[in-house]
Structure formats: C-alpha cells, structure tokens
Amino acid sequence: MSTDPSKLAEFFRAKRDRELLGQLAIEAVPGHVAIIMDGNGRWASKRGLPRIAGHNAGVKAIRETIAAAIELDVRVLTLYSFSSENWNRPADEVTGLMRLFVEVLERETDTLDKLGVKVVIIGSPEGVPEATMAAFRRCEERTASNTTLTLAIALNYGGRAEIAHAARALARDVAAGRMSADDVDEAAITSRLFTTGIPDPDLVIRTSGEMRISNFLLWQIAYSELWITSVLWPDFSRHDLLRAVIEYQRRDRRYGGR
C-alpha cells in the first residue's frame, strides 16, 4: 500500500482525485471490496457496438481497479465476472466471454504475479469450457503464493447455488456420522461455501445504477455496506473506487447492534 501520502497523491493524480484524498482515512480502508461489474452491454449498445465489445472495454476497468485497490491497501477484491444465470444470454455472447477470459488471463497473468496478486476462483466449474477453466487454474497456480492482494473471481457463481452446495456437503457429513445435526451452525455453513477462507465483504459496489444484488454472495454480504453508482463498468475508474471507499468510511457500521 502507498501509506506515504505523496505516493497516493502520485497515483490519484487527477485534480478531482486529489480533492478526495484529503477525506481518506488510510487506517479505515475496507479490507474486502466486492464488485458487481454491470453495464458492459449497455455501454456497447450506446455506441452501436456488439455486446462483446463492452466486455472487452471492461477489461481496462478491471486492470485499473486492481491497481487502485493495491494502492489503497484493500486486501481482498472480489469481481462478479460470470453468474450462473449468464448462461441464458445469447450463445455468441457467452462463447465470446469464455474466449475473452482465456485471452485476458494469458495476457495478464505475468502482470498479476509481478503485482503480488493472488487469484482464486469461486463458483462451480460445471459447464465452463475446458480451455477457460484451464486458463483460470494456471493463473491460480502461478499466483498462489502472492500476498499483496487476493483477487477472487466469481465464475459460474450463484449465491443460492453456493448455499445449496454447502447444505449438501453438510448433509453428507451428517449422514456419514462425521458430525451431528446439532453441529450445523453458521460457522459450519461458512466453511463449506466457495468462499471459505475469504473474509466477508466490507463494501459491495454495483455499477450501472441497478438496485439489486443479482444472487451475489447472498450469505456473505449480510452486513456489508452497499454503494451503487450509475457509472457503467467500462467507465469505472480509480476515481470511482476512491469515491466508494470514502463513502464507506462515512457510514456507521452497526451490524444490527442498534
């Protein structure tokens, strides 16, 4: 992290960013930021382009968000890249997305490794093309020992499916006598989720202005702060992440206590 204010100012060098930096409490940056990256299709449609062009444009926003998260000392960044419901999109769009994942991973893995980013995949591999899954696994293996930032990529992910997955695992353990039904508690469920070992999000960001969660981390975001922006994902920048973090710091997180 750039705890040196001068280094932060160098990264957030635009005038509008410098004005915000004075409001940033370095010691209170959210440890885990999760983002619903929405609006790629609308971004493309507004420009008369195919939807896949919006997904391509969104890669730049991902790159910049990762860099900004590192500068701010965010420890975990989760990106909702492909939901279990996204298979219902047009076949050419889905095929293009799966190819794009491979292209981006082949191009960016070296950079992620040099930045100290550890990539982990959350979601079900079922139905994901072999080449796409293999590219993600290679990236996971290459970056497994990194500690600067954990980048959790939600691939073929659905919150309800994840909870059902955990319930089935618990049922098997009870049936096998490895635990009793009375042992099933929040910790037991949490340990069987795709996100086991990853702390719950402190801040959830959704782009494009939509006011819904879209089946994202349903168990984990019970007490997360939500920040919605009308900015479409390809236009999301370090400035927007900084705005979200500062707004988060203004909140009074009560965890249902009062």
Report the percent of the chain where pLDDT is more than 70.
97
DSSP letter for 123, please: S
Q: How far apart are CA 80 and CA 159, in angstroms?
A: 11
Cβ-contact 40, 54 below 8 angstroms? yes
How many domains does one find in the chain?
Answer: 2
In this structure, is residue 82 part of a structural domain? yes
In this structure, is residue 184 part of a structural domain? no
pTM: 0.94
Residues 53 and 8 in one domain: no
Residues 16 and 96 in one domain: no
Residue range 51-103, pLDDT digits in tens: 999 999 999 999 999 999 999 999 999 999 999 999 999 999 999 999 999 99
In this structure, is residue 242 part of a structural domain? no
Closest to 118 measured CA to CA, from 57, 162, 70, 157? 70
Residues 103 and 13 in one domain: no
Residue range 144-173, pLDDT digits in tens: 999 999 999 999 999 999 999 999 999 999
For residue 11, what are the domain limits? 1-28
Tell me the catalytic residues: 38, 86
Residues 39 and 12 in one domain: no
